[in-house]
Amino acid sequence: MKTIERYILRRISGAFLLAFGAMIGVVWATQALRQLDLVTAKGQTIVQFLKMTMLALPFLGVIVAPFALAIALIIVLNALNSDNELVVINATGAAKTKVLKPVMAFAFLLSVLTLIASLWVSPAGLAQLRQELTQVRVDLVANIVRPGRFIEVDDGLTFHIRNRSGDGTLESLMMDDRRDPETTFTYLAQKGQVAEIAGRMLLVMHDGTIQRRTNETGAISIVKFESYAFDLTSLMPQASAPTFKPSERTIGELLNPPADDNYYKRYTERFHAEIHDRFAVALYPLAFGMIIFVFLGEARTTRQSRHTGVLGALFGCVLVRVAGFGATNLAVSDPDMVLAIYLVPLSVMGLSARLALSDARPVWVRFIGRAVHGVVGTIESTAERITSRFANGRT
């Protein structure tokens, strides 16, 4: 690459990282709020909560990445035009590819990363999330033991805890075990934790006592301990194997599903559509890059408003992605329409490449530009009238 191309590529990279970080943060926050009941209702730790919400980030990143690229390109190309750098590039007689080359180079790199995440990273994260959710549903302490309540976990076995801290520690624990008809055991501990050790689920209690009372004679003996482990394995419900959806399976599992997979037999069309969507999703960064360049890749004077180009670029990107989602859903109901999954981004790339590399603009493109410019002008004039009205009112 030439110096100017490397310069543009660096600016795109920086703007993309900022845009992607902001967008993925907002999306993660919305997903985290949906999983907040893991802490409030299920009694899971903050660490477990963060782990489970982070597992969905690769899947969210695949969706967010093309839009983050679009925002980054809009910011960079607008800045290059405002600083008259695009004007200087055109004045030197350089071809349009001087700006297009770094744009498409970064879009291609993002497409490769998106493809890798879509085929392996994203489904692996979603599959692990499915396993974690399944485990939470069968967590004895999270679903049965409640602070401040006496809960009979098993016939003759009663639990009580004063509080459950954020790291999963059970505070002021009491356990009364009357399952043995001859002897009653009462466990009192300052704190305890449930841990899985060597395939056994243990309740590890600290700083407490064990009261042993013989039912026949009423004799009581008390043993003080610093640490004591109580086996809960027999009380833990067995988790059934989770059923993974198509989005939660790697590309190898989609192409070679088990012969006895009833879920695959029931939703075969969804699996086929998912396979094609995994590959097609990598085309959208390239399509978005071409769309943004068509609207904002050329230098414009201060007399020419770029609002039209920005709105047109954003509208075009959103429209293309919505059409892609629609094509995927259409392929699920009609397998013969699977080519539409690829046709949407490829057709946009071809049309955008023709417009980007040609000097002339078709009539319909100029018509859309004038229409968008008219809408922008109407909005701006309305905003100015409202602002002046409020200003006069304050005066």
State how beta strands 151-154 and 183-197 pair.
unpaired
> Domain coordinates of the chain in residue numbers?
3-137+244-385, 144-235
Please check whether residue 343 is in contact with residue 327, taking contact to mean a CB–CB distance below 8 angstroms. Answer: yes
> Is the Cβ–Cβ distance between 159 and 153 less than 8 Å?
yes
**Among candidates 290, 306, 288, which has minimal Cα distance to 357?**
290
Neighbouring residues of 334: CB distance < 8 A, sequence distance ≥ 6? none
Nearest-angstrom CA–CA distance, 234 and 61: 41
pLDDT of residue 211: 95
Q: How far apart are CA 380 and CA 320, in angstroms?
A: 27
What distance in Å separates the CA atoms of residue 170 and residue 159, rounded to the nearest whole number? 11
Chunked mean pLDDT (size 10), the chain, 395 residues: 88 96 92 70 68 90 96 94 87 85 96 96 93 69 70 83 81 91 93 82 91 91 93 68 87 90 90 95 97 88 70 92 95 92 96 81 55 64 75 59
**What's the confidence (pLDDT) of residue 299?**
82
State the Cα–Cα distance between residues 28 and 98, nearest whole angstrom.
36
Q: What is the pLDDT of residue 39?
A: 58
Q: From CA 60, how far away is CA 246, in angstroms rounded?
A: 16
Check residue 332 and give its pLDDT: 92
Residue 199: per-residue pLDDT: 72
H or E stretch at 252: helix 251-255
Question: How far is the C-alpha of 108 from the C-alpha of 285, rounded, in Å?
Answer: 7
The DSSP result for 45-86, as a single string, is -HHHHHHHHHTTHHHHHHHHHHHHHHHHHHHHHHHHHHTTHH
How high is the pLDDT of residue 35? 72
Any idea which residue has 């027999």 for tokens? 234
Rounded to two decimals, the pTM is: 0.76
pLDDT for the residue numbered 33: 78
Q: What is the pLDDT of residues 143-202, one digit of tens each?
A: 556 788 888 777 888 888 888 886 778 899 999 999 888 999 999 999 998 887 877 878
- At residue 6, the pLDDT reads 93
Q: What is the CA radius of gyration of the chain?
A: 31
Q: What is the pLDDT of residue 237?
A: 59
Q: What is the pLDDT of residue 305?
A: 62
Burial of 265 (0-12, 13-18, 19+ CB in 10 A): exposed
Q: In what order do the strands lie in the sheet with 151-154?
A: 151-154, 157-164, 170-177, 183-197, 200-214, 220-231
The SS3 call for residue 260 is: coil
